[in-house]
Amino acid sequence: MKYYLFFILSPFLYSSVIDNSFITKYEYGAMLYKNPRGVGCIKCHKNPKEKEIFAKYLDKGNIEKIITIPPISKLTYKKFAKVLRAKKNSSLIMPTYFLTTAELRSLYFYIKNIK
């Protein structure tokens, strides 16, 4: 009798396990933003909505140069994906990433919806 009950209930037990471990697209994007199999975006783009100063230095003529990090929350998906799929050396600062389309979509979703 006990066993029957287990078999009847098991699909319910199982589905609740799935529900608990399911992470939303937003959470997945947030996770990738911190750890995208490479240097975390968050290390440089601290706040995706704001422009940040990455570095300041003096050039040969002793003139101050500032390297800035642009806000990334207003880009179209097309532009966003193009930047992240760019081959090595197209940016002097940003690392090259090898993210899948699903990962790019989650990251983009997170950046667009960040509170």
Q: What burial letters (b/e) apply to 65-89, b meaning 16+ CB within 10 Å?
A: eeeebeebbebeeeebbeebeeeee
Q: How many residues does the chain have?
A: 115
For ligand HEC, the closer of residues 30 and 72 by Cβ is: 72
Closest distance to ligand HEC from the beta carbon of 115 (Å): 17
Task: Give Cα 46 to chain centroid, integer Å.
Answer: 12
Closest distance to ligand HEC from the beta carbon of 72 (Å): 4
For ligand HEC, the closer of residues 15 and 90 by Cβ is: 90
Closest distance to ligand HEC from the beta carbon of 28 (Å): 13
Residues of this chain that interact with ligand HEC (CB under 6 A) are: 36, 39, 41, 43-45, 54, 69-70, 72, 75, 80, 83-84, 91-95, 97, 107
